[in-house]
Amino acid sequence: MGYEFNIKPISPILIDKVQKTIPVPEPPTYIAETVGGGQEIHVHDESTLESPEDHAAWATYKRELADYQSSVTDKLLELFILMGVDLELPEDDSWVEEHKYLGLEVPVDDRRALKVYWVSNVVLGSGEDLTGLMFEVMKGTGVDQEVLDSVQDSFRRSVQADPIEEADGEATTK
């Protein structure tokens, strides 16, 4: 059984505000001596890591960055479903009992959370559907095609990523 629904555009300002509710992890830093004898704080990158502590801090930062990107994707998906999907919950809630029977937690006490759950777990059948939804909502906001292509690729990698991250922060794909 397939579902048809209309996509509603969402304000880019609202998308930006929602994205900013997730704090961006701070990269590790190091102190460099200046020629005049002072000190400056610089942000580490792959080429500035020297000590085991530097490498450990960098690995932690990469994991935090991957978690941040995943959290932003999840939060934007919630926004896009809540405000970008023109579809009402079905009156027949037998699907809720089926999901509960399977041991899944279904947020029945909050209609917004229930809509997000239903659309992401019942209406949309695959990761590609999720990516397509996000792409279509963003397209409706007037985002440049180049940015859309980049975002679509990013969401596709995020949806396909294995939840177990390597220490260097790179995800394996299925």
Domain boundaries defined on the chain: 7-160
**What confidence score (pLDDT) does residue 88 get?**
92
End-to-end CA separation in angstroms for the chain: 26
pLDDT in tens, 134-166: 888 888 877 777 766 766 666 555 555 544 444
Cβ–Cβ < 8 Å for 42, 32? yes
Cβ–Cβ < 8 Å for 171, 165? yes
pLDDT in tens, 7-30: 998 998 998 999 999 999 999 999
Specify the pTM.
Answer: 0.73
Measured in degrees and rounded to the nearest 5, phi and psi for residue 118 equal -60, -50
**What confidence score (pLDDT) does residue 144 get?**
72
**What confidence score (pLDDT) does residue 159 get?**
53
**CA atoms of 15 and 46, how far apart (whole Å):** 31
**CA atoms of 5 and 81, how far apart (whole Å):** 11
Q: Count the neighbouring beta carbons within 10 Å of the beta carbon of residue 34.
A: 8
**What confidence score (pLDDT) does residue 78 get?**
94
What rounded mean pLDDT belongs to the chain?
85
Sole residue written with tokens 């000590």: 51
Which sign does the torsion angle of CA 98, 100, 103, 105 carry? positive
Which of residues 69 and 173 earns the better pLDDT score? 69
Cβ–Cβ < 8 Å for 51, 154? no
pLDDT in tens, 87-108: 999 999 999 999 999 999 999 9
**What confidence score (pLDDT) does residue 103 get?**
97
